[in-house]
Structures are given as structure tokens and as C-alpha cells.
Amino acid sequence: ATPMSIMTATGRGAQAGVLIKNAEALERFEKIDTLIVDKTGTLTLGKPELVAVLPEPGHGEADVLRLAATLEKGSEHPLAEAIVAGAEERGVALGEAEDFEAVTGKGVKGRVDGHSVALGNLAMIRDLGIEPGALSDHANARRDQGETVMFVVVEGAVAGLVSVADPVKETTPAALTALHELGFRIIMATGDNERTARAVAARLGIDEIRADVLPEDKVRIIKELQGQGRKVAMAGDGVNDAPALAQADVGIAMGTGADVAIESAGITLVKGNLDGIVRARRLARATMRNIR
Ligand code: ADP
Ligand code: MG
């Protein structure tokens, strides 16, 4: 491409809130056939809200929420913020946590009110040698609605669950339809569990899901697809997504996301809406057509 045509394209992109880092990103983007999208904060608003607290018999709703929220004060994860905000809205007073520890992609643990407490997904509680038990059916029903369920473990036994919902961005469904029409295969990658992922993917017509994914798995998935000859773009917003954005042929960061994600990406969508990808593709095509 001529420097002039590239400057025109990047200038038009910038006006529309699509920041294209350099000529290489634009040129590569024209050849992309596969788009991997992170779920939380990319397809969804990334502003989860606490929607349910279900205690096991023998435990109170307020107690379960107090233990969970007290522990989550130590975490910066959006799910943690949802649980803390939910407790505050419900007038539940928080305590002080000790020995706090975050387990990446799984949850958090520590001590509250002298009890050992852990909170997280199935992988988290299985690491502790625990199975979900009686709450399992409730958990699945909520996941089928696209909610994220976390188990609260007190002294080595499940005391309840908390469930959080993160609405899909208003612009996501139309953007995905347009991206399909442009010929992208769309794969959703998420640290969330398979059941929740499937419920969200079904609503959006996503081609394929990779669930229960740890940050390092995202890089592996991209390498695998690249090994099959696919040209892969990855869209994400989180600190955790940065290595995958760097590995992709083109990384696409949400401007609303973490700085390190933006630094690792070739394209940044200022408003964090996926319709920016549609625009980027059209710009890339128009630019490349001019030079051939
Ligand atoms: P993603 O951003 O794709 O949802 P993460 O790797 O951040 O993925 O999280 C994966 C899963 O790990 C979450 O869906 C949740 O079940 C669990 N998890 C991570 N951090 C926390 C936390 N602070 N509190 C509770 N659960 C957590
Ligand atoms: Mg995310």
C-alpha cells in the first residue's frame, strides 16, 4: 500500500474511533479469516451485577454474601466488584479478610471472621477437593441464562453460591452479524464455564466456543489455529488478554479496557464496540484494493 493510502485509511479510522497502529496492522487485517473474541468486557459490558445469593441449608443468605464480599474486597476482578457492590446495596456489612490470595482464572481465598473461606468456579473448589453437591442444579439453571456462578466455601464445605449477570453490549449482536457477512469465523474464548459460554454464544450465533480458558490457553489456541494456516485476529480488553493480543496476527483492544491490552494491540476500538471491527475491515479492503 502507498503511504498515502494508508494515511487516508488510518485517518478515516481514527475519526470513527478505530485506531490503527501502523501499515502492517492494516495490511494484515485484510487477510484475517478467524476472529477470537473474549467474552467479559468485549462481547458483554464487563459490568457484572450480583443477581442471586443461594445459601446451603444451615447458612444464611446475608452470611454467605458477607463472607464472599469481604474476601472480594481484595480482588480487582469485575466479578469481585459486582459482589462487593451487591453486598453494599443489600446493606450487608463487610468484615476484614486475612491471608488473601487470588487464584488466576479460578477465584479467591483467605480467612474471614476466623474461618477459612474460598470463592470461585468449579475448578477452584475442585482444587480444594470439593464437589458442588445440592446446589448443582441451581447453578446449572443460572448458567443456562448466561450467568456466572461462583461457589462460596467455608471451612472446606460449600456454604452457598453467588451468581452474577453481565449483559451483552447493545452493539454486539449487529456487529457479529456484519462480521459473519464479511466472512469471519467467530470463536468466543472465555474463562467462564462451558454452560454459561454456550448460553451466551447461542444467543449471538457464535460459531465456536472455548470455555474454561486460562490466560495462557488463549495464546495456545491462537498458535494452534495459526498452525492450521488460519489468519487470526483476537479482540479483548483485559490485562489477561495482552499476551493473546500480541500473539494474534492482529490484536484488537477495547479502548475501555486495560492499558497493557491497548499497548499489545494493532487496532484499538476507542468506544469498545465491536462494530469498529467491521469498519476496520472495510478500510483494510478499500486500501488494499487500491494498491493491487
Ligand atoms: P474472563 O475474563 O474470560 O471471564 P477470568 O480468567 O478473569 O476470565 O475468570 C475466569 C473465571 O474464574 C471466572 O468466570 C470466575 O468463575 C473465576 N474467577 C476469577 N476471578 C475471580 C474472583 N475474583 N472471584 C470469583 N471468581 C473468580
Ligand atoms: Mg475480558
**Protein residues with CB under 6 Å of any ligand 1 atom:** 38-40, 72, 75, 77, 79-80, 105-108, 119-121, 148, 150, 190-192, 238, 240
Same domain, 213 and 282: yes
What is the spatial distance between Cα 140 and Cα 175, in angstroms, rounded to a whole number? 29
Name which residue leads in pLDDT, 245 or 133.
245
Same domain, 283 and 187: yes
Ligand nearest to the CA of 258: 2
Cβ-count burial 203-223 (b if 16+ within 10 Å, e if not): ebebeebbbbbebeebbebbe
Ligand nearest to the CA of 189: 1
Residue 225 has pLDDT above 60, yes or no: yes
Give the mean pLDDT of 51-62. Answer: 96
Same domain, 243 and 287: yes
What is the spatial distance between Cα 165 and Cα 53, in angstroms, rounded to a whole number? 12
pLDDT band at 2 (very low <50, low <70, confident <90, very high): confident
CA of 102 to the centre of ligand 1 (A): 10
Same domain, 258 and 195: yes
Q: What amino acid positions are annotated as catalytic residues?
A: 38
Name which residue leads in pLDDT, 108 or 292.
108
Q: Is 52 exposed, middle or buried (0-12, 13-18, 19+ CB in 10 A)?
A: middle
pTM for this one?
0.87
pLDDT band at 199 (very low <50, low <70, confident <90, very high): very high
Name the residue at shortest CA distance from atom 13 of ligand 1. Answer: 192
Closest ligand 1 atom to 190 CA: 3
Name which residue leads in pLDDT, 2 or 151.
151
Give the mean pLDDT of 259-267. Answer: 96
Name the residue at shortest CA distance from atom 21 of ligand 1. Answer: 107
If one counts the domains in the chain, the total is 2
Q: pLDDT value at position 185?
A: 97
Residue 197 has pLDDT above 60, yes or no: yes
Q: DSSP string of 128-194? A: TT---GGGHHHHHHHHTTTPEEEEEEETTEEEEEEEEE-PBPTTHHHHHHHHHHTT-EEEEE-SS-H
Beta partners for residue 137, in sequence order: none
Same domain, 101 and 121: yes
Same domain, 19 and 116: no
Q: Which of 46-50, 166-170, 243-247, 284-288 has the lowest mean pLDDT?
A: 284-288
Residue 249 is classified by DSSP as: S
SS3 1: coil
Last residue of a domain, one of 165, 185, 206: 165
Residue 72 has pLDDT above 80, yes or no: yes
What is the spatial distance between Cα 46 and Cα 48, in angstroms, rounded to a whole number? 6
Give the mean pLDDT of 8-15. Answer: 94
Residue 291 has pLDDT above 80, yes or no: no
Closest ligand 1 atom to 105 CA: 6
Other CB atoms closer than 10 Å to residue 136's CB: what's the count? 15
Domain span holding position 68: 49-165
- CATH code of the domain containing 28: 3.40.50.1000
Residues 16-36: tens digit of each pLDDT: 999 999 999 999 999 999 999
Same domain, 84 and 144: yes
Last residue of a domain, one of 144, 165, 186: 165
Looking up cell 447453578 gives 139
Q: pLDDT value at position 240?
A: 87
Closest ligand 1 atom to 193 CA: 14
Residue 288 has pLDDT above 90, yes or no: no
pLDDT band at 101 (very low <50, low <70, confident <90, very high): very high
How far is C-alpha 88 from the chain's CA centre? 24
pLDDT band at 292 (very low <50, low <70, confident <90, very high): low
Residue 6 has pLDDT above 70, yes or no: yes
Give the mean pLDDT of 272-276. Answer: 95
Same domain, 269 and 178: yes
Same domain, 19 and 66: no
